Amino acid sequence: MFARLVRESFVRNPRRKILTAAALVVGMAVATATLTVALDVGDRLAREFRSLGANLLVTPESDTLPLEIGGVDYRPVDEGAYLDETSLGKLKTIFWRHNIVGFTPFLDVPAIVSADGVNLRTTLVGTWYEHAVPVPDGTKFKTGASATHPWWKVQGRWFHDDANECVVGAALAATNPGAFIIGKTITVAKSESAGQPQSLVITGIASTGDAQDRTVLVPLSVAQNLSGHPGKIRQLFVSALTKPADSLSERDPQTLSAKEYDRWFCSPYISSISLQIRQVLPGSDVRAIRRVADTEGRILSRIGILLWIVTLAALAGAGLAVAATAATTVLERRDEIGIMKAIGATNSVVAGIFLAEQVLLALAGGALGFGAGVGLARILGESVFGTPSSLRVVLLPVVLGLAAIIAILGSLIPLRRAAHFQPAPILRGE
């Protein structure tokens, strides 16, 4: 009987149901879309923030003071300590290996550059642009300055890692426009007297916006051979996806309890990733580049809060829409309620029929809305970040439950009022 009543109500007046269902679909679509975006946004923005470049700097622990201005180290090659290039692949074996977006080693060598018969004292910056690093598990990881210094621009092309090629900084090239031309060959030597000069073909003019503009950028192996330190590097810039700092990450790891330590270690905080890098590169000092890391953390956490507030607003809007239509349906059907009550239905039976209808509608509308919301989120992700958001099936029960709760809540108030209806005046048409 109960089921029949509910079914009858749907069959007899489908148009009225469509309005409520439409409100549910639109409301739940917006709720699904905003929830999907809010859940994704941390990861996606963190990836976008990698356009700021590296956020971790690895240096030898027992180093002397680098004489570094604007990113170029002017120390003589025989001073200070070095790290091993061969162990860099281990970076992709740490717990958070997938969060290591890229890393670039640097070895700066003061040198004499001869171009067109003119000798210039400058620095060779040995680095990778795009280098395939062997990882201990047998695969190769392609990384270099293209990942950690994405703002570096080149006119021409970058050097190949295994070739005797170089890229000249724009400011240096401007000092002698006749000599530093793409395609020409220059020779570099460690000093006037010592060492065999090395010939390098200029493949491009680089503009880095920093002190490297006054240097010659060369493949790492060239700098290593010239300096007499094969397989060694001075600095390593690491770009990692991290989670914004919170109360746990700000505490000293030594003071954490075992359980907290596990949680800290297994969260991609910049501090826990630093520790994991230190573990695979013994003798190194790993530091967060605070300018980048702090800015990123602050903005990420702010946008996170902001989006949750906006999502709450969306949920409130969706709730309002659904509740408003639910309320009107009850009000519109006063006559029906009057008749039911007149022929002996109790308040609970009336409420039961209405609530059952609303829940059925909510489930159908919610499911449709979820589908529409997923599409909406894909479009949003596509237009904002260039890649569509991933589908989160977990959200389906959440959205359905939400729709049902909102629809029930929206009907409760008018139903309470319906409980006070006196059948007689209603049937009289008053």
Partner 1 sequence: MFTRLLWKLLHASRGRLVVALVALVSGAAVISALLNLQFNIERKLTQEFRTLGANLVISPARDVHSVGSGADSPAVMDQGVVLSEIEKMRTQEVVAAAPYLYIVAQVKTKPVIVAGTWLDEATKLAPTWKIAGGEVASREDGTSCLVGRNVARQLKLAPGEQLELTYLGRTARTTVAGIVDAGGPEDNQVFVNLPVAQELAGMTGQIGLVQLSINGASKTVAAYAQRLATALPGFEVRPIRQVTEAEGELLNRIRLLILSMVLLILILTALCVLATMAALAMERREDVGLMKALGGSITRIVGLFLAEVGVLGAVGGLAGCIAGVALSHWMGQRVFGTAISARWEIFPLTVALMVGAALAGALPLRRLGNVKPAVILRGE
Nearer to partner 1, 113 or 133 (CB): 113
Nearest Cα neighbor of 110 from 159, 75, 83 is 75
List 17, 149, 229, 333, residue binding partner 1 (CB under 8 A): 149
Separation in Å, CA 327 to CA 316, 331, 333: 16, 6, 10
Q: How far is the CB of 345 from partner 1 (least distance, A)?
A: 22
Residue 321 found at the interface with partner 1 (CB under 8 A): yes
Q: How far is the CB of 207 from partner 1 (least distance, A)?
A: 8
Q: How far is the CB of 201 from partner 1 (least distance, A)?
A: 20
Angle at 103 between CA 99 and CA 107, to 5 degrees: 160
Residues 264, 256 contacting (CB under 8 angstroms): yes
Please tell me the distance from the alpha carbon of residue 246 to that of residue 250, in angstroms, as a whole number: 6
Residue 122 found at the interface with partner 1 (CB under 8 A): yes
Q: How far is the CB of 400 from partner 1 (least distance, A)?
A: 18
The interface with partner 1 within residues 244-263 (CB under 8 A) comprises none
**AA letter at 425:** P
Stretch that binds partner 1, among 150-158, 245-253, 347-355, 399-407 (CB under 8 A): 150-158
Residue 155 found at the interface with partner 1 (CB under 8 A): no
Separation in Å, CA 401 to CA 86, 318, 351, 426: 54, 13, 19, 34
- SS3 for 275-335 is HHHHHHCCCEEEEECHHHHHHHHHHHHHHHHHHHHHHHHHHHHHHHHHHHHHHHHHHHCHH
List 17, 24, 34, 128, residue binding partner 1 (CB under 8 A): 34
Q: How far is the CB of 417 from partner 1 (least distance, A)?
A: 9
Q: Map residue 417 onto helix, strand or coil.
A: helix
- Label residues 98-117 b or e (16+ Cβ within 10 Å = b): ebbbbbbbbbbbbbbbbbee
Residue 424 found at the interface with partner 1 (CB under 8 A): no
Nearer to partner 1, 219 or 373 (CB): 373
Residue 14 found at the interface with partner 1 (CB under 8 A): no
Please tell me the distance from the alpha carbon of residue 248 to that of residue 339, in angstroms, as a whole number: 62
Residue 302 found at the interface with partner 1 (CB under 8 A): yes
List 27, 144, 244, 366, residue binding partner 1 (CB under 8 A): 27
The interface with partner 1 within residues 59-118 (CB under 8 A) comprises 64-71, 74, 110, 118
Q: How far is the CB of 162 from partner 1 (least distance, A)?
A: 27
Residue 127 found at the interface with partner 1 (CB under 8 A): no
Residue 48 found at the interface with partner 1 (CB under 8 A): yes
Please tell me the distance from the alpha carbon of residue 124 to that of residue 107, in angstroms, as a whole number: 8
Stretch that binds partner 1, among 240-248, 282-290, 360-368, 389-397 (CB under 8 A): 282-290
Q: How far is the CB of 402 from partner 1 (least distance, A)?
A: 14
Residues 286, 235 contacting (CB under 8 angstroms): no
Q: How far is the CB of 264 from partner 1 (least distance, A)?
A: 19
**Interaction mask 157-196, partner 1, x per CB under 8 A:** ------------x-xx-xxx--------------------
Nearest Cα neighbor of 190 from 112, 78, 76, 74 is 112
Residue 320 found at the interface with partner 1 (CB under 8 A): yes
List 88, 124, 154, 292, residue binding partner 1 (CB under 8 A): 292
Q: Map residue 82 onto helix, strand or coil.
A: coil
Number of residues that bind partner 1 (CB under 8 A): 86
Residue 57 found at the interface with partner 1 (CB under 8 A): yes
Nearer to partner 1, 133 or 323 (CB): 323
Residues 134, 92 contacting (CB under 8 angstroms): no
List 41, 233, 236, 407, residue binding partner 1 (CB under 8 A): 41
Residue 324 found at the interface with partner 1 (CB under 8 A): yes
Place of tokens 């059948």: 423
The interface with partner 1 within residues 349-378 (CB under 8 A) comprises 376
Residue 409 found at the interface with partner 1 (CB under 8 A): no
Residues 206, 217 contacting (CB under 8 angstroms): yes
Q: How far is the CB of 137 from partner 1 (least distance, A)?
A: 31
| Overall residue count recorded for the chain in this entry | 430
Q: Map residue 150 onto helix, strand or coil.
A: coil
